[in-house]
């Protein structure tokens, strides 16, 4: 896909991976709408990027978010399902309200965004959905019951959509970042960055590269690891 003038909606676009993907797309000439729940934070980031902002919670407002974005863009070519959050909880600590809220954003929200984006892809005769999953979609870990289950769920949905949508020339791409230096999980987004560990720009690079493949082909899944995050010497 040639991203020049492509119409793109990026959820979770206020910071981190979502903002980096939006910036990279804009640099290639795409027209971008960024979405997030915190309207003030979203508007500030959109102004920095030169993107259009549409606030809302993907878990409850997906239809309205897509409607507002497509009204501004005049249609849609790419949906990036990046909105998501996580919290470590052991099995003994599982909080059903937190668990359910995580699923509503990470799984149901992504599904509803894709559902409401699909008619616009069909109208255009093509499209792309990028699901930002995680290496947690490939393997569980201690205290990861809630979060990894959402990412395994997103991975399963990705496979279902690939099977359903390829005959309609809609490409569905799953991106699996390993640990990325963002504010995810409550970490300080202003902390000094480790030069050996992944940054949001690395995930944006992989995402944009996958999208820019000619439409006759697509990359179903792409996993990004830091080469050697353990030591400066190793």
Output the CA torsion 139→11→159→198 (10° steps): -40
Catalytic residue among 9, 112, 147, 184: 147
Of 27, 36, 26, 20, the residue nearest 206 (C-alpha):
20
Instruction: Please say if 141 is a catalytic residue.
Output: no
The DSSP call for residue 213 is S
Q: Report CA torsion sign: 36, 136, 206, 200.
A: positive
Query: For the stretch 184-208, what's the b/e string if a residue is b when 16 or more beta carbons lie within 10 angstroms of its beta carbon?
Result: beeeeeeeeeeeebbbbebbbebbb
Q: Which residues are catalytic?
A: 147
């Amino acid at each position: 896909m040639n991203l020049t003038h492509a119409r793109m909606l990026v959820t979770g676009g206020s910071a981190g991976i979502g903002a980096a993907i939006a910036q990279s797309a804009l640099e290639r000439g795409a027209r971008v709408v960024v979405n997030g729940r915190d309207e003030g934070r979203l508007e500030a980031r959109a102004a920095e990027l030169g993107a259009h902002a549409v606030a809302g919670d993907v878990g409850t407002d997906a239809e309205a978010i897509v409607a507002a974005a497509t009204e501004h863009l005049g249609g849609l070519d790419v949906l990036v399902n990046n909105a998501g959050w996580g919290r470590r909880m052991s099995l003994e600590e599982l909080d059903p309200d937190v668990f359910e809220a995580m699923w509503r954003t990470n799984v149901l929200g992504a599904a509803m965004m894709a559902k409401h984006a699909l008619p616009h892809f069909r109208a255009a005769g093509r499209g792309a959905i990028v699901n930002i999953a995680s290496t947690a979609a490939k393997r569980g870990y201690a205290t990861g019951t809630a979060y990894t289950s959402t990412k395994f769920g997103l991975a399963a949905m990705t496979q279902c959509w690939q099977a359903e949508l390829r005959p309609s020339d809609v490409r569905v791409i799953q991106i699996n970042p390993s640990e990325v230096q963002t504010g995810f999980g409550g970490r300080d987004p202003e902390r000094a960055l480790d030069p050996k560990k992944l940054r949001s720009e690395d995930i944006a690079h992989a995402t944009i590269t996958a999208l820019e493949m000619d439409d006759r082909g697509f990359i179903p899944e792409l996993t990004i690891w830091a080469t050697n995050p353990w030591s400066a010497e190793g």
